[in-house]
Amino acid sequence: MTLRIVLLGAPGAGKGTQAQRLAATHGLVHISTGDMFRAHLKQGTELGQRVQDYLSSGRLVPDDLTCAIVTDRLVQPDCAQGYILDGFPRSAPQAEALDAFFTDNGQKLDVAVDIAVADEDIVDRLSARRSCPACGAIYNLKYGPSKRGGLCDRENCSGELILRDDDREETIRKRLQVYHQTTAPVIGYYGNQGILKTVDATGLTPDDVFARIEEILCGLKGA
């Protein structure tokens, strides 16, 4: 069964972790707008320079720019067997643009899963996150620290871990404010379409969240 899934949730809700695990389990392509943006930043492209201004201040990248990047990725051959969209759509116009893409390409979205986490838990998680600028690995001082302290412990890498600008508490709170104002309406958008499923992930382990999403996907396959 070809699955096309959207994972919703505030920054730090665990979308990336769940998307990677689900993609590996079901043989789906994991499409992360954050990863695509960071790739452009690392390569120093013109797009990366434009994106940097938005990410460092906690603002969202403009809809037209984001939609163009995502839809170009969705027409690649490896997406034909299904994919998980992580971090997109982030606004009602983006959701509408995605629907237009599906209509133009004879596809449909199977389910939108909202991973719901309390704001204070989000702040606690993200402010403890550290990143390796050399290889892109991400650690958490409380839940998944590097075995080498302030250095990346991936094989053949010893990059010095940093606190990214968008993981600072003041930026996180601004991102959450932007999320509630701009992205949360997407939940209603998919709710009106009858394809929204919500997982209350506050206080749950990643394994618990994964199990609940798996139940949802099993229900789709059995439908």
* Domain positions in the chain: 3-117+183-222
CATH homologous superfamily for 3-117+183-222? P-loop containing nucleotide triphosphate hydrolases (3.40.50.300)
Active site residue 15: yes
Which candidate in 4, 125, 129, 212 is catalytic? 129
Buried b or exposed e, range 183-218, using 16+ CB within 10 angstroms: bbebbebbeeeebbbbbebeebeeeebbebbeeebe
Report the pLDDT value the prediction gives residue 222, as an integer from 0 to 100.
Answer: 62
223 pLDDT more than 60: no
Active site residue 174: no
Q: Cβ(46)–Cβ(149) under 8 Å?
A: no
The reply to whether the predicted model has a pTM over 0.85 is no
Instruction: Report the alpha-carbon distance of residue 92 to residue 112 in Å, rounded.
Output: 14
Average pLDDT of the segment spanning 71-82: 90
151 forms beta bridges with: 148, 160
Instruction: Report the alpha-carbon distance of residue 172 to residue 163 in Å, rounded.
Output: 12
Which candidate in 164, 168, 173, 174 is catalytic? 164
Which candidate in 4, 73, 90, 130 is catalytic? 90
**H helical segments located in the chain:** 15-26, 33-43, 46-56, 63-74, 92-105, 119-127, 169-178, 185-193, 206-222
Report the pLDDT value the prediction gives residue 182, as an integer from 0 to 100.
Answer: 84
Q: Which of 35-49, 66-80, 134-148 has the lowest mean pLDDT?
A: 35-49
Which candidate in 125, 130, 175, 197 is catalytic? 175
Pair of tokens at residue 56:
């460092």
